[in-house]
Amino acid sequence: MDTLKLTLPDGSEKQVTAGTTGLDIAMSISPRLADAAVAVVIDGKQWDLKRALPGSGAFRILTAKDAESLEIVRHSSAHLMAQAIVQLFPGTKLAIGPVIENGFYYDIDSPHKFTPDDFAAIEAKMTELAGQKLSIDRTDIKRLEAIEKWGVQAEPYKVEMMQEWTDETVSYYTQGDFFDLCRGPHVPHTGFLKFVKLLSVAGAYWRGDEKRPMLQRIYATAFHDKKALEAHVTALEEAKKRDHRVIGRKLELFHLQDDMPGMVFWHPQGWALYRALQTYVREKIEAAGYVEVNTPSVASKVLWEKSGHWDKYQDNMFVTESEKRIYAIKPMNCPGHIQIFNQGLRSYRELPLRMAEFGSCVRNEPSGTLHGIMRVRAFVQDDAHIFCTPEQIGQEVADFCKLLKEMYADFGFNEVIVKFSTRPEKRVGTDESWDRVEKALADACEFAGLVTELNPGEGAFYGPKLEFTLKDCLGRHWQCGTIQVDPNLPERLGAQYVGEDGARHTPIMLHRAILGSLERFIGILIENYAGAFPVWLSPVQATILPVSEKFLDAARATASALRKAGLRVTVDEQNQKLGYKIREAEGQRLPFILVVGEKEAASGTVSVRQRGAGDLGAKTIGEFVEFVAGEVAAKR
RNA sequence: GCCCAGUUAGCUCAGUGGUAGAGCACUCCCUUGGUAAGGGAGAGGUCCCGGGUUCGAGUCCCGGACUGGGCUCCA
């Protein structure tokens, strides 16, 4: 009889006969371990507890203590949710139910229209099924038999998937009278699935294809224990409190209105923040050798035809007409920048030419995609186009990446993910040119020492791109920066320079943005800081509170002195007690609150209260200005 | 654009076919204050828009707009 050789985590070796299961081994160690075991890992592969081990190798038993066991619990929870839904709502057809970050979902097709009101009943049914500790068992079956077993009528989605597979056998898992096609592994019984919460219901196209049927997707999450589940729910509530739309209103940063969807009205406070951000970007790019320009918002159809936008991007453009000529509002700044490049004869000596613009763009985005100020129709990009030679791409991409990381770090974003997107189906330019440019960008990444994830087919219609995703303090991902290599547009719009050889050449154009859109980036900042902006960005850096109306003039004089020193300050002129005004200013999450009363007015000082630190005592105006300058310089 | 759900005072939200409500904010008056809510009075509504059912619609039905959660798309 065959024996398997297992290496346990402590390094010891164990010989077992073929056919032994993980559960057998757990049991031989201790019955308590056997009870707690979720699954095992054999030779790096997760494996059902009750399934005969497939071979020799490193062996581990997964319990709730192992992070990877949570995925298995969630995967099994998806099955349990499906079981509950099918029992409660007969006629429901199942599509897919994968594990995702922080939970899982199941896509279903049902005559019942699910709403959050159904969640309690589904959760109750799941709890009931979990309480029954139904054994979860795997069965292998010939794929063609499985197609019969499921049947096109009953489960068209499962059948469609199986028809596309090429494996000879597939597997399914049974719990009670429910079974579901699945690769596994799963927990041994439903008793592991007691801490589940349904979160939301949403539409989702079958296989993500907008031409296929719309299914109902139920999002949910599951944990090993009640405490972890509750902590997650609390975290979701915290994230909700950071919603930029809620904070934006509370801090009077901006508003949106129904009759002009996707357009932001910046209020004085929000605009101060916007300008602080813009000033920062300006300083950074000027130091990095960029020149700033500004180009018209509306351009003739003729230009968009030449650039290719009319063909490839028309659906997203607002088009208008005047005196029988057709115009479109610019959705991008690149054609405009080439118009500036094309004025006069350019020399290779001018390259690389880094042309920046806070480019105001308008894109007619589908209504369903709009979201607060994160996704709007009118926005400003911290855009720039670098005109360079093919040889300069590597250095320019490397310099750009350095600048980007430096700037993200100033906001406390230290983790950046880079994606490499290659040629899409809808594109301009020859395959040879795409080959060349994709290689140039790949080489540039290597030169810059970037680790990239490949994103095939996701490039812009004119060229391949890198996309930079930052992680905020809640661990959420935001794609912001991008750099795109474009040999096509300069060619189409006739950009040329005179080379060292005296001949005319077409430059390469690098489209690049670091923050992406200022609107979106501010949305991210609001949520990242929960409205408590660092002093250097804060719309109001300090507010001055007179102890009573008698000291209003002294407060105003202080404000005027601080404004002269370049600080953004306000005076709280409300006829209220000090405690009330402090409470309100704290609610606005301002970095500094300055109290001016009899003592301060007489000595030319302010009593400083710093956000998070409390009362710092009295400082002269000069001392305070210096203190703030230090905080600003440190980007605190 | 697609699926589902929402839309009531400036904001957050109650209101199951019969006289539109609360808290906060706002205005005025009193109070003139020392580190997270002083007191009183008042004003504020096309119940998203348009149709329909009904003696009667914020409430039920249909259509539309917008918002939200997602999907597709995307900065």
A168 touches strand B (CB under 7 A): no
Q: Is A477 a catalytic residue?
A: no
Q: A29-66: per-residue pLDDT in tens?
A: 888 888 888 998 888 889 998 888 888 888 888 888 88
- Å between CA of A580 and C1' of B35: 10
Strand B contact at CB of residue A477, distance < 7 A: no
The overall pTM is greater than 0.80: yes
Q: What is the pLDDT of residue A611?
A: 94
Reported ipTM: 0.91
Beta bridge partners of A300: A327
Check if residue A35 sits with its Cβ under 7 angstroms from strand B: no
DSSP state of A474: T
Q: How far is the CA of A433 from the C1' of B44 (A)?
A: 66
Has residue A316 got a pLDDT over 70?
Answer: yes
What the block records as the tokens of A360 is: 């105001």
Residue nearest B35, CA–C1′ metric: A579
Asked if A612 CB < 7 A from strand B, the reply is no
Q: Gap from A549 CA to B38 C1', in Å?
A: 15
The single residue of A382, A383, A486, A572 carrying the catalytic annotation is A383
Strand B nucleotides with an atom less than 7 Å from a protein beta carbon: 1-5, 11-12, 26, 30-38, 65-75
pLDDT attached to residue A505: 96
pLDDT given for residue A67 in this prediction: 86
Q: How far is the CA of A595 from the C1' of B33 (A)?
A: 13
A385 catalytic residue (yes or no): yes
What is the residue-wise DSSP string for A248-290? HHHTT-EE--TTSTT--EE-HHHHHHHHHHHHHHHHHHHHTT-
Report whether CATH 3.40.190.10 matches the domain A268-295+332-528.
Answer: no
Is strand B in 7 Å reach of the CB of A379? Answer: yes
Domains A3-62 and A542-634 share a fold: no
Rounded average pLDDT over A427-451 = 85
User: How large a percentage of chain A has pLDDT more than 70?
Assistant: 100
Q: Which CATH fold would you assign to the domain A69-241? A: Threonyl-tRNA Synthetase; Chain A, domain 2 (3.30.980)
CATH class of A3-62: alpha beta
At residue A4, φ and ψ (nearest 5 deg) are: -110, 145
Dist CA A530 CA A152 (whole Å): 50
Strand B closer than 7 A to residue A252 Cβ = no
Nearest alpha carbon to residue A85 among A224, A229, A216: A216
Structure tokens at A401: 């990446």
Which residues lie across from A511 on neighbouring strands? A385, A484
Structural domain boundaries in chain A: 3-62, 69-241, 268-295+332-528, 542-634
Average pLDDT, chain A: 91
Do A434 and A427 contact (CB within 8 A), yes or no?
A: yes
| Distance, CA of A554 to C1' of B23, in Å | 35
DSSP codes, A566-621 = T--EEE---SS-HHHHHHHHHHTT-SEEEEE-HHHHHHTEEEEEETTTEEEEEEEH
Per the structure, the residues numbered 501 to 560 in protein chain A that have their CB within 7 angstroms of any atom of strand B are 513, 516-517, 519-520, 547-550
Lookup: nucleotide whose C1' is closest to A481 CA: B75
CB A546 within 8 A of CB A585: no
Q: Is the CB of A605 under 7 A from strand B?
A: no
- Mean pLDDT over A340-366 rounds to 95
Read off the amino acid at residue A374: M
Q: Cα–Cα distance between A370 and A368 in angstroms, integer?
A: 6
- Decide if A334 is catalytic: yes
Residue type, A111: P
**So what's the pLDDT on residue A1?**
55
Tokens of A267: 């209020």
Which of A's residues 445-464 have CB atoms within 7 A of nucleic strand B?
A: 458, 460
pLDDT at A483 over 70: yes
At residue A59, the pLDDT reads: 85
| CA distance from start to end of chain A | 69
Catalytic residue among A363, A377, A512, A611: A363
Which helix (H) or strand (E) segment holds residue A631: the answer is helix A621-633
A82, pLDDT greater than 70: yes
Active site residue A255: no
Query: Residue A501: what pLDDT?
Result: 95
Query: What average pLDDT score do residues A440-467 get?
Result: 85
- Whether A368 sits with its Cβ under 7 A from any strand B atom: the answer reads yes
Catalytic residue among A385, A427, A505, A581: A385
How, if at all, do strands A99-100 and A103-109 pair? Answer: antiparallel
Phi/psi at A330 (nearest 5 deg)?
Answer: -70, 130
> Which range (A172-176, A371-375, A425-429, A618-622) has the least confidence?
A425-429
Indicate left, alpha or beta for A262 from its phi (over 0: left) and psi (-120 to 50: alpha).
left
Q: Taking residues A261-269, what's their average pLDDT?
A: 92
Q: Is the minimum distance from the CB of A381 to strand B below 7 Å?
A: yes
Which residue pairs from A83-87 have beta carbons closer than 8 angstroms and sit at least 24 positions apart in sequence? Answer: A83/A126, A83/A129, A83/A175, A83/A176, A83/A178, A83/A180, A84/A122, A84/A125, A84/A126, A84/A129, A85/A110, A85/A122, A85/A218, A86/A178, A87/A125, A87/A178
Determine the 3-state secondary structure of A17 from DSSP. strand
**Cα–Cα distance for residue pair A233/A175, rounded to 1 Å:** 28
Q: Within 318-357 of chain A, which residues have Cβ less than 7 Å from strand B?
A: none
Q: Give exposure, A338-372, as e/b (b: 16+ Cβ within 10 Å).
A: bbbbeeeebeeeebbbbbbbbbbbbbbbeeeebeb
Give the lowest-confidence range in A51-65, A321-335, A393-407, A594-608.
A51-65
Task: Judge whether residue A2 has pLDDT over 80.
Answer: no
Q: What is the pLDDT of residues A525-579, one digit of tens each?
A: 999 999 999 999 999 999 999 999 999 999 999 999 999 999 999 999 999 999 9
Note the pLDDT of residue A445: 85
A399 confidence band (pLDDT: 50, 70, 90): very high
Q: What percent of chain A has pLDDT over 90?
A: 62
Residue A493 phi/psi, 5° resolution?
Answer: -100, 10
d(CA A235, C1' B14) / Å: 27
* Cβ-Cβ contacts under 8 Å for A589 (sequence gap 6 or more): A251, A530, A531, A532, A533, A611
Work out the average pLDDT over A465-478: 87
Reported as a single tens digit per residue, the pLDDT across A99-122 is 988 899 999 998 888 888 788 889
Answer yes or no: is A210 CB < 7 A from strand B.
Answer: yes
| pLDDT value at A621 more than 60 | yes
Within A380-534, residue ranges assigned H as helices are 393-410, 431-448, 488-492, 518-529
Sequential DSSP letters for A606-627: EEEEETTTEEEEEEEHHHHHHH
| A578 beta carbon to strand B: under 7 Å | yes
Which architecture characterizes domain A542-634 according to CATH? 3-Layer(aba) Sandwich (3.40)
Whether A369 CB is under 7 Å from strand B: yes
Could you tell me the distance in Å between the CA of residue A593 and the C1' of nucleotide B29? 29
Measure A298 CA to B46 C1' (Å). Answer: 38
Whether any strand B atom is under 7 angstroms from the Cβ of A367: the reply reads: yes
Q: Given this model, what pLDDT does residue A488 score?
A: 87
Residue showing tokens 């985590």: A9
Q: Can A363 be counted among the known catalytic residues?
A: yes
Give distance CA A195 / C1' B60 (Å): 39
Distance of A247 CA from B2 C1′ (whole Å) = 30
With vertex at residue A29, the alpha carbon angle to CA A24 and CA A35, rounded to the nearest 5 degrees, is 70
